[in-house]
Amino acid sequence: MLLRFGYEDVRARLSGLAGRLAGRRGARAAAWLLAGPDLLWLLGRVLADERVPRRQRGELIAAALYLASPVDLVPEALFGPVGLVDDATVLSRLLDTLLNRLPARVVEEHWPGDPQALAQLRALAQSGRRLFSLGAATGLRQLLVRALRQLRAQLPQPLQRWLVRAA
């Protein structure tokens, strides 16, 4: 119980500090900066909850162990960025299971963070499911196309026109 109080107390203090320093934007930024620790905390709480089916707990444990393991099916050292596909697929599945496939009441009860951040993380996990359910190669291709489009949108207009003509 002391550990639970400790995390939530530290979280509340950090959020309050960000809100006082930067106003509303600071509070929103704090919600996103704390999303990583919140997800880890949620994972621990969910694994300890008896209402979560064994199969889903096993899937969450297996995915977390795979991500923490130095052994990969597709090692980055040999295949470069393509080696991240297996990690991205497993992480996508872990987040989707944790946020969308468990009973909503259990997730909401254990989520220590901002409810709006949880809703946005759920949508992100769901889009990850759609992306990687197509297969690793198709998912990676779509991910790269989206990244290139976003990158192109950040470029100045003359450079964007030149890229369109060059392609």
* The pLDDT of residue 86: 80
Whats the size of the chain, residue-wise? 167
Q: What percentage of the chain exceeds 90 in pLDDT?
A: 29
Query: Which pair of structure tokens corresponds to residue 98?
Result: 């944790």
* Residue 143: CB atoms within 10 Å: 15
* The pLDDT of residue 9: 76
Q: How far apart are CA 139 and CA 142, in angstroms?
A: 5
pTM above 0.85, yes or no: no
pLDDT digits 0-9 by tens, 96-148: 999 999 999 999 999 988 888 899 889 888 887 777 666 656 666 776 677 66
